[in-house]
Amino acid sequence: MKGLQVADPLLISVLIFVIAIFVGYELITKVPPTLHTPLMSGSNAISGIIVIGAIVIAGQGHSSLSIVLGVIAVALATVNVVGGFLVTDRMLRMFRPRERPGSKKPDSESPK
């Protein structure tokens, strides 16, 4: 009888990816709206680290597959960072005080 065999590393990686999808979905659905903006800023920072890592992987050039996957990772992480900052900025603009139509700020440059 053979001993315990080690599973294929690709199979283990796919299994971890699938579990991460389910855990991520459960975590995101439980986040209250008031925490969305701070979490979005944190995920933007993580995506910035992913951009750096993807550039390093693509730059090593071990194989054409690693270069292609690195370039794809750089593109997707960059889209995530830019989109995240745009969404965060849009949400923060909702909390700025609005100017009322009748209350104009006095022009300091206009002659009296």
Spatial contact of 70 and 54, defined as CB atoms under 8 Å apart: yes
CA-CA-CA-CA dihedral for 49, 31, 15, 55, to nearest 10: -10
pLDDT at residue 22, as a whole number: 93
Per-residue pLDDT tens for 36-50? 767 777 777 787 887
Where in the chain are the domains? 32-93
Spatial contact of 77 and 50, defined as CB atoms under 8 Å apart: yes
CA–CA distance, 67 with 58 (Å, rounded to integer): 4
Q: Residues of the chain whose pLDDT is less than 70?
A: 1-6, 37, 102-112
Other CB atoms within a 10 A radius of the CB of residue 21 amount to 10
Spatial contact of 37 and 86, defined as CB atoms under 8 Å apart: no
| pTM recorded for the entire structure | 0.52
pLDDT at residue 105, as a whole number: 60
DSSP-assigned letters across all residues of 42-54: HHHHHHHHHHHHH
